[in-house]
Amino acid sequence: MLKHTIIEPEEILVLEPQAPLEAIDFEDLAREIDPYIADHGKLPGLMIHAKAFPGWATPDAFLAHMRFIKSHLQDIVRFAMVSDSVLLTDVSRIAAYLVHAEVKHFPDSEYAQALQWLKAATGAAASNGALQ
Ordered by start, the domain boundaries in the chain are 2-127
For the purposes of burial, counting CB atoms within 10 Å of the CB of 40, is it exposed (0-12), middle (13-18) or buried (19 or more)? middle
pLDDT at 58: 96
**By C-alpha distance, which of 54, 53, 43 is closest to 14?**
43
Strand partners, 5: 14
- Burial pattern 2-28, b for ≥16 Cβ within 10 A else e, equals beeeeeeebbbbbbebeeebbbebbee
- pLDDT at residue number 80: 93
pLDDT at 91: 76
Q: What pLDDT tens digit does each residue of the chain (132 aa) get?
A: 999 999 988 889 999 999 999 999 999 999 999 998 999 888 899 999 998 889 999 999 999 999 998 888 888 899 999 999 888 777 777 777 677 789 899 999 999 999 999 999 776 544 444 443
Query: Exposed (0-12), middle (13-18) or buried (19+): which is 116, by Cβ within 10 Å?
Result: exposed
The angle that helices 23-40 and 59-72 make with each other, rounded to 10 degrees, is 10
Contact 101, 46 (CB under 8 A): yes
Please report the pLDDT score of residue 131 as a whole number. Answer: 44
Instruction: Return the bridge partners of 6, or none.
Output: 13
What's the whole-model pTM score? 0.85
| Single-letter amino acid code for the residue at 103 | V
Which pLDDT value is given to residue 123?
Answer: 61
